A and B are shown apart, each in its own frame.
Chain A
Amino acid sequence: MPPLLKMENISIVFGGLTAVESISFEVEKGRIVSLIGPNGAGKSTVFNIISGIYSPTSGSVYFLEKDITGDRAYKITGYGIARTFQNIRLFKNLTVADNVRIGCHSRSRAGFMGAVLRAGRVKGEERGITDRAKESLAVVGLADKSEDLAKNLSYGDQRKLEIARALASSPELLLLDEPAAGMNAGEKQGLMEMIKAISHMGVTILLVEHDMKFVMGISDHIIVLDYGQIIASGTPEEVQNDPVVIEAYLGKEAD
């Protein structure tokens, strides 16, 4: 079976600084893959390239064997890639329900005329959006907060809402950028189970995370980045015992 996502020799240069250099990796369908590495290694940059916020300087991104390199972000969401953001980017002054309804955007069609005339087809679509939003909120356990404003949610709930909003677009691939950041141990445990549940629903997951216990506990496969290059990849056990990885995180032992 071909890989769901394939990155081929991806490089990106920001005004002379090479943030990501010649990266190639694949993500197979149904897996939970983690991207780790020290601060500034280029993890979020890789996410921004996959989701279309940045266009790579060279290299290609394939999703379901289709070349999606340089396509605009809104199109990429339509192909079936959804994401969350490291520094939460919710629609703060809208309700929880509307945040998730907006997540359904790429799976619905009604435009300006549809809004004004509101024919039967549009009404049916609105009901579908509401149902889909309801399901997504139930997955993350926020169903009872649907009428709250997003900005009034607790930090942990805001992170969950980001996941629900991404899920609403019915993605094949879900990109989670530091989902556990700022959470306490109990919340992290809950999040881990939630991600596993989402994975069981058939969604492939690629995540960036700093918490090693979290990453080791959840990943099928780990890719380690340092200075914009892949320095190791493999199962959690393989990566944990790799001397190159230990060096990147802890430094070299003095002779």
Chain B
Amino acid sequence: MQAIIDITTNPYYIQVITMMGVYLIAALGLNLITGVTGQFSFGHAAYMSIGAYTSALLTKNLDLPFLLSLLAGGLMAALFGVILAVPSMRLTGDYLGITTLGFGEIVRVVFINMEITGGARGLAGIPRSTDLTVVFILVVLFIWALYRINNSRFGRALAAIREDEIAAESMGINVFLYKVESFAIGTFLAGISGGLYAHLLQYINPADFGFAKSFELLNFVVIGGLGSIPGTVLGTTVLSLAPEFLRFVKEYRMLIYGGLMVLMMIFRPHGILGGVDLGRLLRKVLRKKPPAALSGGN
């Protein structure tokens, strides 16, 4: 009980949990691109940085309301997501991975060399507008929307592309267009996450959004279970809290973190909740026929 009170009142814990929510939004976007649609993206942090700089500059220099700047950051990230996706969506697998990795580095270098972003010194003096309430509401909203997407004609088309592109195209799915749409939504979420990040830490630097951050986000999604929303939530929670709770082992903490990752890949290569459909599992447990199921027949 005392522990719960500690967590809900201690500003340090609140900060850690808020940051977890910020990362979760980016991870949910990446899960849509990589987990649901099956397209590699190794530059997701770059879209976070585009959202972060866009929204930070808008609130700092133009006094735009916080939520409006978040939206602008998300849209800007999505715009760049589409700009990258249109030429590179003809690539698959490793090739797409390398392209996105390269794009991520380009974005970082551009921000280092830009005047308005403060270059390598970073951008300071961003108003602190992000709090746990805003993050929580956005997380719930996005999870709700993503669940709806997954259980729709649109989401089924994305899953079909992941499973077999040629078959998907032969079912009448415009594979190229759907991949671009998936990228746009996923990078929009990264942009929103970046905006929240900037207004939480009040200082951003291009180095915050390097490829190490992109891989961290990918870890959240892969460890939880590619394509699974509960998996992404779990993966992000465990991996973003683990380094904090491992602080007592001091310099060994990243060693233990790395060890945990290796064990995971050995024992649950598809992630903690990979290949687990909680809805189906629940229906099986309850031994009830699903309402929308096509069971029975004649």
Residues of chain A having any CB pair with chain B under 8 Å: 51, 53, 72-74, 77-78, 82-83, 85, 89-98, 100-112, 114-116, 118, 122, 125-126, 129-130, 133-134, 137-138, 143-144, 146-147, 165, 169
Residues of chain B having any CB pair with chain A under 8 Å: 145, 148-149, 152-157, 159-160, 163-164, 166-175, 181, 185, 275, 280, 283, 290, 292-298
Indicate whether A74 sits within 8 Å of B293 (C-beta atoms), given known contacts A101-B156, A102-B160, A105-B153. Answer: no
Please state if A73 and B169 are interface contacts (CB–CB under 8 Å): yes
Report the separation of the CA atoms of residues A220 and B265 in the bound assembly, to the nearest whole angstrom: 56
Across the interface, which residues of A come within 8 angstroms of B164, CB to CB?
89-92
Across the interface, which residues of B come within 8 angstroms of A78, CB to CB?
172
A51 CB, nearest partner CB in chain B, Å: 6
Report the separation of the CA atoms of residues A106 and B295 in the bound assembly, to the nearest whole angstrom: 24
Please state if A143 and B152 are interface contacts (CB–CB under 8 Å): no
| A110 contact from B154, B163, B295, Cβ within 8 A | B154
Please state if B275 and A93 are interface contacts (CB–CB under 8 Å): yes
Across the interface, which residues of A come within 8 angstroms of B153, CB to CB?
101, 104-105, 108-111, 114-115, 125-126, 129
9 A–B pairs (Cβ distance < 8 Å), ordered by A: A53-B169, A102-B159, A111-B154, A112-B181, A112-B185, A122-B152, A134-B294, A138-B297, A169-B172
Across the interface, which residues of B come within 8 angstroms of A110, CB to CB?
152-154
B288 CB, nearest partner CB in chain A, Å: 12
Across the interface, which residues of B come within 8 angstroms of A72, CB to CB?
169, 174
Across the interface, which residues of B come within 8 angstroms of A125, CB to CB?
153
Report the separation of the CA atoms of residues A112 and B148 in the bound assembly, to the nearest whole angstrom: 10
Please state if A138 and B170 are interface contacts (CB–CB under 8 Å): no
Please state if B172 and A115 are interface contacts (CB–CB under 8 Å): no
Please state if A116 and B149 are interface contacts (CB–CB under 8 Å): yes
> What is the chain B residue whose CB lies nearest that of A118?
B148
Report the separation of the CA atoms of residues A137 and B296 in the bound assembly, to the nearest whole angstrom: 11
Across the interface, which residues of A come within 8 angstroms of B160, CB to CB?
91, 94, 102, 105
| B170 contact from A73, A108, A112, Cβ within 8 A | A73
Across the interface, which residues of B come within 8 angstroms of A130, CB to CB?
292, 294
Q: A89-B167, A101-B156, A147-B295 are in contact. List 16 more A-B contacts (CB 8 A).
A: A53-B170, A74-B170, A74-B172, A74-B175, A94-B160, A97-B293, A98-B159, A102-B159, A102-B171, A106-B171, A110-B154, A111-B154, A112-B149, A115-B155, A116-B145, A143-B294
Please state if A144 and B172 are interface contacts (CB–CB under 8 Å): no
A94 CB, nearest partner CB in chain B, Å: 6
Report the separation of the CA atoms of residues A239 and B169 in the bound assembly, to the nearest whole angstrom: 35
> What is the chain A residue whose CB lies nearest that of B292?
A130
| B154 contact from A92, A96, A115, Cβ within 8 A | A115
Report the separation of the CA atoms of residues A101 and B155 in the bound assembly, to the nearest whole angstrom: 11
Across the interface, which residues of A come within 8 angstroms of B166, CB to CB?
53, 73, 85, 89
Report the separation of the CA atoms of residues A98 and B170 in the bound assembly, to the nearest whole angstrom: 15
Across the interface, which residues of B come within 8 angstroms of A93, CB to CB?
163, 275
| B159 contact from A85, A91, A112, Cβ within 8 A | A91
Indicate whether A102 sits within 8 Å of B168 (C-beta atoms), given known contacts A108-B153, A111-B154, A126-B153. Answer: yes
Report the separation of the CA atoms of residues A122 and B153 in the bound assembly, to the nearest whole angstrom: 9
A154 CB, nearest partner CB in chain B, Å: 18
Report the separation of the CA atoms of residues A114 and B173 in the bound assembly, to the nearest whole angstrom: 16
Please state if A133 and B171 are interface contacts (CB–CB under 8 Å): no
Report the separation of the CA atoms of residues A196 and B154 in the bound assembly, to the nearest whole angstrom: 34
Indicate whether A147 sits within 8 Å of B152 (C-beta atoms), given known contacts A94-B159, A112-B185. Answer: no
Indicate whether A114 sits within 8 Å of B154 (C-beta atoms), given known contacts A137-B294, A146-B295, A147-B293. Answer: yes
User: Chain B CB within 10 Å — which of A82, A98, A115, A134 has the most?
Assistant: A115
Across the interface, which residues of A come within 8 angstroms of B148, CB to CB?
115-116, 118
> What is the chain B residue whose CB lies nearest that of A53?
B166
Across the interface, which residues of B come within 8 angstroms of A114, CB to CB?
152-154
Report the separation of the CA atoms of residues A78 and B170 in the bound assembly, to the nearest whole angstrom: 9
Across the interface, which residues of B come within 8 angstroms of A111, CB to CB?
153-154, 181
> What is the chain A residue whose CB lies nearest that of B283?
A147
Indicate whether A103 sits within 8 Å of B171 (C-beta atoms), given known contacts A93-B275, A115-B149. Answer: yes
Report the separation of the CA atoms of residues A110 and B293 in the bound assembly, to the nearest whole angstrom: 20
Please state if A105 and B294 are interface contacts (CB–CB under 8 Å): no
